[in-house]
Amino acid sequence: MAFIDLHCHMLPGIDDGAKSTEQALAMARQAQADGIRSVVVTPHHLNGVYLNLAEDIRQAVRAFKLLTLANGIGIQLLPGSELHLVPELPDALERGEAMTIADRGRAVLVELPVFTVPVGADQILDDLLGMGLTPVIAHPERNRALAERPERLADWVERGCLAQVTAQSCTGAFGTVSQNAAKTMIGNGWIHVMASDAHRDRRRIPQLSLGRDMVASWTSPELARLLVLAYPKALINGQDVDRSLLLQALAALPGQQQRRPWWRLFRRS
């Protein structure tokens, strides 16, 4: 199966991802070997350490594309950014300074702090939705507050947000708390994308196959396919994701309707 990786720190030397062009090329080769055919490269922006403006990311992607072609690596590279969820973000997007997913101007990958959900997060997400942008919440299972109360994600999803789980959270590489949260979030239909969030050519590598296998064992191959291919494909093409496909895949799981009334989670009381 071909995969699309929506979150990957592969661009060399511009954030805490690949440290050199050699490492970035090694990551590109790993991605290709795993079956990843398209990678959205997502340098951090506005996280208090890194500032990567949209135009700088466009240029860096163009340069790295040439390098991969010169080295015979045949993956598609698309611009993106992991945008910290700060009050300045909506204005930065309005001014065109912050990069949207695949530069389509439709969806944005947004990142929370590690431990908390900041006061005001709801308002910023609403502001983005009001601008016609779909926030994709990066790895909610790795946020301590959300891992302890995964149902908080349901409200954001109901408002129109999407969410991205990290493949290595599903395989247990970040511990049982993140793994259990990932399983709960996926099982309830609050996760739409699985991505690598790769930073290196060792340990945090661009690989989706193992995470896909784990999600397929928790749910079904069809649901896993939505997360690693169908939904990321819609997002890089600037299209809406068809949420009914996920609900259908969940409803088709054995015993699902008896055990877990997930559809109530999408209804306001």
Q: Which residues bind Fe ion (CB under 5 A)?
A: 82, 197
Taking the least distance from each CB to Fe ion, the nearer of 82 and 127 is 82
Q: Which residues contact 94 (CB under 8 A, 6 or more apart)?
A: 131
Say how far apart CA 80 and CA 96 lie, in whole Å. Answer: 13
Smallest gap from Cβ 116 to Fe ion, in A, equals 18
Smallest gap from Cβ 118 to Fe ion, in A, equals 18
CB 112 within 8 A of CB 118: yes
Three-state SS annotation for 73-135: CCCEEEECCEEECCCCHHHHHHCCCCCCHHHCCCEEEEECCCCCCCCCHHHHHHHHHHCCCEE
Say how far apart CA 48 and CA 145 lie, in whole Å. Answer: 20
Smallest gap from Cβ 255 to Fe ion, in A, equals 35
> Position 1: which residue type?
M
Say how far apart CA 99 and CA 43 lie, in whole Å. Answer: 10
CB 206 within 8 A of CB 196: yes
Taking the least distance from each CB to Fe ion, the nearer of 204 and 233 is 204
The closest residue (CB) to Fe ion is 197
Taking the least distance from each CB to Fe ion, the nearer of 5 and 197 is 197
Taking the least distance from each CB to Fe ion, the nearer of 5 and 127 is 5
Taking the least distance from each CB to Fe ion, the nearer of 17 and 189 is 17
Distances 19 to 55, 198, 199 between C-alpha atoms, Å = 21, 12, 9
Smallest gap from Cβ 17 to Fe ion, in A, equals 8
Taking the least distance from each CB to Fe ion, the nearer of 80 and 189 is 80
Smallest gap from Cβ 122 to Fe ion, in A, equals 22
Smallest gap from Cβ 111 to Fe ion, in A, equals 7
